[in-house]
Amino acid sequence: MHRQSSNARIGSDLSAGLVAVFVGGGTGVIGETTMKSFAKHAVSPRIYLIGWSKEAATWI
């Protein structure tokens, strides 16, 4: 299964209100892409980012 089709199924296959915790890696490109995809596809998600500093996550 391709990543895009798998991500698109998050909202229909999983419960609403999923919680994701990103520690340390959330301010890099991979973490940013993962969080944005999760936020886009999940229904009423809650995301906690535990990173190095607020300045490192300026894209949020």
| Domain segments of the chain as ranges | 3-57
CA pair distance 45, 51, nearest whole angstrom: 19
pTM over 0.85: no
Can you give the pLDDT at residue 45?
95
In tens digits, the chain (60 residues) has pLDDT values of 566 678 788 888 888 999 999 887 656 778 788 888 899 999 999 999 887 777 776 666
Please give, one letter per residue, the 3-state secondary structure of the chain.
Answer: CCHHHHHHCHHHHCCCCCEEEEECCCCCHHHHHHHHHHHHHCCCCEEEEECCCCHHHCCC
